[in-house]
Structure 1
Amino acid sequence: MVIDKRKVRTAIGGTVVGNFMEWFDFGIYGYLAVTLAVVFTSDLPEPWGLLVTLLGFAISFIVRPFGGLVLGPLGDRIGRQKVLFLTMAMMAAATALIGVLPTSAQIGLWAIVPLYLLKMVQGFSTGGEYAGATTYVAEFSPDRRRGFWSSWLDVGSYVGFAAGASVVALSTWITQSISGPDAMTEYGWRIPFLVAIPLGIVAIYFRLRIPETPAFENAAEVNLDKDDPYARLGIIGILRHHWRVVLIGIAIVAATNTAGYALTSYMPTYLETEVGISNLGAAIATVPVLIVMSACLPLIGRLSDRIGRRPVYFIAAGSTLVLMVPAFAVMQIGQEWAVFIALAMVAIPVAFYVAVSASALPALFPTASRFGAMAIAYNVSVSLFGGTTPLFSQGLIELTGNPYMPAFYIMFFALLGIIAMLSMRETAKRPLLGSVPTVETRAQAERVVATQDSNPLIDTSTMPLEILHAAREGDGEVDASAQASTRS
């Protein structure tokens, strides 16, 4: 199948803006956690107010599997593009509505209830967002450059988080200059959430323009045989046929997101409460690190196209074990330069993890059930381990009094990730399971067809037979609208 580069760029751009929006909200909530504790839980004593606020972050992740169980199989039935539009609209609306909620000064502790409900809406929508976005970009990317193209998805994620942190920092500086040190708790906290309104409109516009993936269109009429692992399966069928790969995905996602959410969503709280860095100072240190890290992701994605996804994952897990404790030790110095260096050390393994996530994880599952399987593996793991990282990390510190507990927590999941990586099959340079090879030019298509029987990177037994026969009998180019037949 030949993919037009212009369509690839349009498709990637449309998904990147959605991930930007999702992580923009994470950035806002993470950097306003201490402020929101005052706004929504002023009647609770310390540290309960902060823990209740962080619980709101965790609740959004607890709901994610339910969103994944609904939206994932739906995306396998009606298409990736339609579900991605729905998730974007839900996320933008919920984020904006948080900005108009009443505070505890107005309605007491009841203020936390609508906040939790809107975080649940966000969690439900993100249950389909990342699984759908990674499925989408993986299916739209050519086999030999899937790592490079897919890495741009997480560029949007971390730039979005940096944008959220920047908006919080700018809002803090402006409102405090105008109204004094209490300005953010009085009204300034609303501004970053309301900024989601114009951003959401732009993101929804781009989502409306993205096309459906050729891989989905080619598999649109796959069989529904529950005994065929390459058929379109429901939740039970996915767990029955692909449970081993689902467990591998859960472990790798846990390793990735405990480190990732520690760097982003938890670090502002840690720097304020354990190191004594102000909210503004934490943003000033974090934003440049995230921007530089984001710029490195396509380079690492391209590296994974050359050496493979598994070696890059091993680099990520190994650097986690080596760098995490020293990073938290440097952080304890408490100076701005030390915090910057420490965050850069944490960002190194995170960059290697996330640069290959969007290309490696969807490739573990066959096309007909990819969205649903990704939704299960990713969201179960993120809800149990990733999104709860801020809550568990702070809770472990409160329980033990040891400021290094977040580092040990992250390292534990890196070890589990290494075990999973040993069982993970390499997917770089290979066609997606259940799809024909995807290339960028007609000449590449002709070479693939000519060598497909002897090429060790191609397993024709996993491909839709009708399209495969068309490629063999034709001139090497498969029409993107061709429909796949039932596998034999």
Structure 2
Amino acid sequence: MLGNAMEWYDFGIYAYMAVTIGKVFFPSGNDTAQTLSSFATFAAAFLVRPLGGFFFGPLGDRIGRKKVLAITMLMMASGTLCIGLIPGYGTIGFVAPVLLVLFRMLQGFSAGGEYGGASTFIAEYAPDKRRGFYGSFLEFGTLIGYILAASLVTLLTAVLSDHELRTWGWRIPFLVAGPIGVIGLYLRLRLEESPAFAKVMEQSAATEAEAQGGEHGNETVREFKRIFLGQRRAMVICIALVAAYNVNDYMLLSYMPTYLSDTLGYDETHGLLQIVVVMIVLLTVIHPLGGLTDRIGRKPVIITGCGGFMVLPVPCFVLIKQGDLVPIFIGLLILGLVLVCFLATMSAALPALFPTEIRSGTLSVSFNISVSLFGGTTPFVAEALVDGTGNDYMPAFYMMLAAAVGLAAALAMTETARKPLMGSPPAVETVEEARELVAAQR
């Protein structure tokens, strides 16, 4: 959880600094053009996330979840730190945005192995009857990372002038990534491999020996076929669920501060502060809701979230467009409470779609394809729709469309709560639970 928080702190600060970054790296007389350019760079990181998923996912199935999680942490922190060191456009010209895109792509490549590896790790360690509760810790960490990023950016925008923020203040959150990355790397190196993966490694020792003996290329082809031919239905369901989840997640937690300031003319600091408060509220809800999914199932909660996003975005945007503190906060909070239906379930539901021996690979690939196409492009698409149509409700319509896709996938998925992971033996929490399980099978 702590490692994930540090990883997504790195990724979140770019979203919250998007407007300022646009002014530093994309000089233009048009504020909208600068913001769109900044969000296009934000989306660029997501274009390479499938490549990261293709690379790190299967790698995690071969060398272990722990090593991949350490590598992705190191790469993410390095990319973020380097962004904070890039001179602006006024100093080195077009080289500045080129370097920005390159380091954003490094972030995206590392993020491609983050979610699949981390959610797989937690799912394989968790007991079957409490996988929802333990899985919710992953997104708890994501929220912590976003809160840290948004809080620091809020503080900087409150105490620094616009000129100070553009000239040097924007670098501070990125430079902080260095020591944060060292802490995260230490935490992840302290992990041990999950028992489920260790068992699979024991069973596949002969296969690995053959691959090391010169058949690695053939093994790679076979692995590719297993991922894309044997798991097509599960991957389509995963892609659709992730699309619904990520469009609404990035719309609320990443794009909304820009929507409030640029589209509605709302104070940027107040907008960020309200997003922070909403995320803090979600922190108090995510674990109880994750535990609830262990009792009533993942599907009812996911379906509730999809249904909420199909009917509530327009009323919430009506409140947000009032432009006053209380209506804006109520609108954001309602959307946040619907979003937590995804936050509390996805880390447990998605890994359970795939078998243990290829879980990291299949999950990473399908998750990152969806995030690349729908999640990372959300701020850019939303801003472009608003600017192109002049309709301030376009983000709400986009959220509703994504939710409809997610609802279809949720109805098609198989319930996995309180059941062993596919390809793994039952996982229990206590000796008494193990004895009950053995007695029930006799």
TM band (smaller chain): over 0.9
Identity %: 46
Match in the other structure for 1:58: 43
Match in the other structure for 1:298: 287
Q: CA deviation at 1:29?
A: 1.2
Match in the other structure for 1:394: 383
Counterpart check, 1:196 vs 2:169: no
Aligned residue for 1:385, secondary structure, equals: helix
Match in the other structure for 1:458: none
> If the length of structure 1 is used for normalisation, what is the TM-score?
0.86
1:210 paired residue among 180, 191, 202:
191
For the 8 Å contact 2:311–2:400, the answer to whether it is kept is no
Letter in 2 for 1:92: A
Counterpart check, 1:373 vs 2:354: no
Letter in 2 for 1:134: S
Aligned residue for 1:210, secondary structure, equals: coil
For the 8 Å contact 2:54–2:364, the answer to whether it is kept is yes
* Partners of 1:282 and 1:429 in 2: CA distance: 40
Match in the other structure for 1:112: 97
Q: CA deviation at 1:238?
A: 1.1
1:52/1:405 CA distance change after superposition, 3 Å: same
Q: CA deviation at 1:68?
A: 0.4
Match in the other structure for 2:396: 407
* Partners of 2:119 and 2:158 in 1: CA distance: 36
For the 8 Å contact 1:171–1:192, the answer to whether it is kept is no
Match in the other structure for 1:18: 3
What does the per-residue CA deviation read over 1:385-439, in whole Å, with 9 as the maximum and x for residues that have no partner? 0111001111111111111111111111111111111110000000000000000
Counterpart check, 1:40 vs 2:29: no
* Partners of 1:222 and 1:270 in 2: CA distance: 52
Match in the other structure for 2:123: 138
For the 8 Å contact 1:296–1:351, the answer to whether it is kept is yes
Match in the other structure for 1:340: 329
Q: CA deviation at 1:345?
A: 1.4
1:44/1:370 CA distance change after superposition, 3 Å: farther
Q: CA deviation at 1:380?
A: 0.4
What does the per-residue CA deviation read over 1:99-152, in whole Å, with 9 as the maximum and x for residues that have no partner? 111101112233111110011000000100011000000000000000001101
* Partners of 1:398 and 1:426 in 2: CA distance: 41
Structure 1 gap segments, 5+ residues each: 1-15, 226-230, 454-488
Letter in 1 for 2:404: L
* Partners of 1:269 and 1:222 in 2: CA distance: 51
Aligned residue for 1:425, secondary structure, equals: coil
* Partners of 1:64 and 1:173 in 2: CA distance: 33
For the 8 Å contact 2:11–2:107, the answer to whether it is kept is no
Structure 2 gap segments, 5+ residues each: 209-218
Aligned residue for 2:414, secondary structure, equals: coil
What does the per-residue CA deviation read over 1:169-190, in whole Å, with 9 as the maximum and x for residues that have no partner? 112233x2xxx43110011000
For the 8 Å contact 1:33–1:54, the answer to whether it is kept is yes
Note the aligned Cα RMSD (angstroms): 1.5
Alignment of 1:395-474 (within 5 A): 395-452=384-441
Q: CA deviation at 1:18?
A: 2.3
What does the per-residue CA deviation read over 1:339-376, in whole Å, with 9 as the maximum and x for residues that have no partner? 21111011022100111000000000000000000011
2:163 paired residue among 182, 194, 206:
182
For the 8 Å contact 1:26–1:265, the answer to whether it is kept is no
> If the length of structure 2 is used for normalisation, what is the TM-score?
0.94
* Partners of 1:162 and 1:46 in 2: CA distance: 26
Letter in 2 for 1:163: L
* Partners of 1:270 and 1:202 in 2: CA distance: 34
For the 8 Å contact 2:303–2:411, the answer to whether it is kept is no
Counterpart check, 1:308 vs 2:297: yes
**Higher helix fraction: Structure 1 or Structure 2?**
2
Q: CA deviation at 1:162?
A: 1.0
Match in the other structure for 2:215: none
Q: CA deviation at 1:214?
A: 0.4
Counterpart check, 1:242 vs 2:231: yes
Counterpart check, 1:264 vs 2:253: yes
Match in the other structure for 1:69: 54
Letter in 1 for 2:389: T
Match in the other structure for 1:468: none
Aligned residue for 1:102, secondary structure, equals: coil
Q: CA deviation at 1:291?
A: 0.8
Q: CA deviation at 1:168?
A: 0.6
* Partners of 2:263 and 2:19 in 1: CA distance: 12
For the 8 Å contact 2:36–2:380, the answer to whether it is kept is yes
* Partners of 1:134 and 1:26 in 2: CA distance: 17
* Partners of 1:166 and 1:317 in 2: CA distance: 29
Q: CA deviation at 1:44?
A: 5.8
Q: CA deviation at 1:221?
A: 3.7
* Partners of 2:41 and 2:278 in 1: CA distance: 26
